[in-house]
Amino acid sequence: MITDYAGKKAVVTGAGSGIGEALAVGMAERGADLLIVDIRGESLEPVAEKIRALGKEVYTLQADVSLEEECQKIYDYTMEVFGRCDILVNNAGVSSGGGITTIPPRDIYWVYETNVYSHWYMMRRFIPLMEAQGDKCEILNVCSIAGLVTLANSPVYFSSKHAAVALSECVWKTLKQKGSNIDIQIFCPGFIQTNLWDADAYRPERFAAVDDPYYTSEEFKQYPVRIKYVLDHSAPLKETIDKVFDMLGKDQFFILTHDEFDGLIRAQGVFQADMIQPIDPSLFQ
């Protein structure tokens, strides 16, 4: 949990838009200095302007978190500008609507490498740093309600977010057992008004749409249209992120902001029905 942001050095990925931008600006409002990262480097300057206007230190970095060497670049730049990291927010993520038999493997890799592998790459580097620092540190992994429940569409998005939740739970348990100075929380939102519907525009070069019938199919073309409509009619960003900041200050692993999913989550199983902390690992010994 984070109760004090003053003077803290925070790194936020995917900060050029939506949830990442709102979290970065919200942390600056509460007193943190920021390193903001995005694959679209040009999206960062307007966000940096907002942070500077709050009188906080801010650095920007173009990087693709789906690549291990780019996560190393983020770590190296963090050390160059701050020499430490108190708060790490792994937020960058993408979505794709392809079905199980239609989605090209390259899109499976793109979504998994962005939504799951990036969390590995970043935590592998930042956990040892934070442990060496020794004082209270925090990692916030932005997952999704799609990591807690499943629906009949977007199998690659749902399964990637389930993997991201499971990874964070494993790390939470490992760190708890060690009595680590690092706390981990995960944000699992339902729909929020952001630009996630336009994720296709943020594809790294190596996953660019190629000459495959899928990329001219109605399924491919209609997905962003459908998702844009849903997102445009969903929870407002600012109010939702205000709730996140309230919960970041509490001793709870799961940060949930969309009550309408409560019934579905509870139907998943009794062990996590309160959705505060992961299942006690001693139950399995």
Ligand X SMILES: NC(=O)c1ccc[n+]([C@@H]2O[C@H](COP(=O)([O-])OP(=O)(O)OC[C@H]3O[C@@H](n4cnc5c(N)ncnc54)[C@H](O)[C@@H]3O)[C@@H](O)[C@H]2O)c1
Rule CB under 6 A: which residues touch ligand X? Answer: 13-14, 16-20, 38-40, 43, 64-66, 91-95, 114, 142, 144, 189, 191-192, 194-196, 199, 202, 204, 231
Closer to ligand X at the Cβ: 45 or 55? Answer: 45
Residue, CB closest to ligand X? 93
Residue type, 259: D
Q: Which of 157, 214, 223, 229 is catalytic?
A: 157
CB of 131 to ligand X, least distance (A): 25
Closest to 260 in 3D by CA, of 165, 172, 145: 145
**Cβ–Cβ under 8 Å, residues 240 and 136:** no
CB of 245 to ligand X, least distance (A): 16
Within the chain, residue ranges assigned H as helices are 18-29, 44-53, 68-81, 105-112, 118-133, 155-178, 218-232, 237-248, 262-268
CB of 124 to ligand X, least distance (A): 16
Closer to ligand X at the Cβ: 78 or 194? Answer: 194
CB of 150 to ligand X, least distance (A): 14
Chain-centre distance for alpha carbon 181: 21
Within 30-67, residue ranges assigned H as helices are 44-53
CB of 51 to ligand X, least distance (A): 15
In b/e form, how buried is each residue of 114-123, taking b as 16+ CB within 10 angstroms? Answer: bbbbbbbbbb
Active-site annotation holds for 157:
yes
Closer to ligand X at the Cβ: 19 or 167? Answer: 19
Report the alpha-carbon distance of residue 164 to residue 167 in Å, rounded: 5
Closer to ligand X at the Cβ: 5 or 202? Answer: 202
In b/e form, how buried is each residue of 160-197, taking b as 16+ CB within 10 angstroms? Answer: bbbbbbebbbebbbebbeeebebbbbbbbbbbbbbebb
At residue 59, the 3 state secondary structure works out as strand
Closer to ligand X at the Cβ: 130 or 231? Answer: 231
**Cβ–Cβ under 8 Å, residues 36 and 16:** yes
Catalytically active residues, by annotation? 157
